[in-house]
Amino acid sequence: MLDVNEDDDEEIPITQQIKTPPPPAPPAAQVIEIVEDEEEVEESIIESTETDNDEIIEVDDVSIEEDDLDVDVPFAVIEDVPIFPGCENVSKDKRRDCFQEKINKHIKRNFRYPEVAMELGIQGRVFVTFIIDKDGSITNILMRGPDKNLEKEARRIISVLPKMTPGKQRGRAVRVPFSIPINFRLQN
């Protein structure tokens, strides 16, 4: 049996504290001489560039052609969506759905899995972005996917889209960017 109380009574000898003298004081501070500035500083006045309602502003006559204002209006917010052939007689509020349905049918009908990608077992999703131009043609086709062969096929599918009736914003034909993913999946 071990008695812990006996081990706690260890004697520690008292040591003597040695006092060290303080460090010597730093040398007396030097006298600093203050010299008067002899240079004159010229102050500049900053004037406001804001105008009030009474001020007349002259503007040079600049003519802007309508074609100079190439505005891209996203598909999600455009007033009149581009019309895919076959959707002309659909009511205005159903044209977005018709457009989506027709573009999906187009992709399914024109889809061909690239042989090279099939042999190598490459599959994945290719994100395609393109612009439906003011004349209804398809331009600026951009793809991003897992393989260049899949991207090439996605470009081919989109490039054979039919010419559409362009989208309109405030009654004027505008460029409409559109994005769609194309899934390439091998069947087992």
* Domain-embedded: residue 140: yes
Does position 68 have pLDDT exceeding 60, yes or no? Answer: no
Contact 188, 180 (CB under 8 A): no
- Of 74 and 127, the one with more pLDDT: 127
* Domain-embedded: residue 119: yes
Q: Is 168 helix (H, G, I), strand (E, B) or coil?
A: strand
CATH code at position 88: 3.30.2420.10
* Domain-embedded: residue 162: yes
pLDDT in the model for residue 92: 84
pLDDT in the model for residue 93: 85
- Of 50 and 84, the one with more pLDDT: 84
Instruction: Return the closest-CA partner of residue 76 out of 157, 140, 167, 138.
Output: 167
pLDDT tier, 152 (very low <50, low <70, confident <90, very high otherwise): very high
* Domain-embedded: residue 132: yes
What average pLDDT score do residues 173-181 get?
90
* Domain-embedded: residue 45: no
pTM > 0.95: no
What average pLDDT score do residues 149-162 get?
92
pLDDT tier, 64 (very low <50, low <70, confident <90, very high otherwise): very low
Does position 183 have pLDDT exceeding 80, yes or no? Answer: yes
Contact 87, 104 (CB under 8 A): no
What average pLDDT score do residues 12-40 get?
70
What average pLDDT score do residues 63-85 get?
72
pLDDT in the model for residue 29: 65
CA–CA gap between residue 182 and residue 136 (Å, rounded):
22
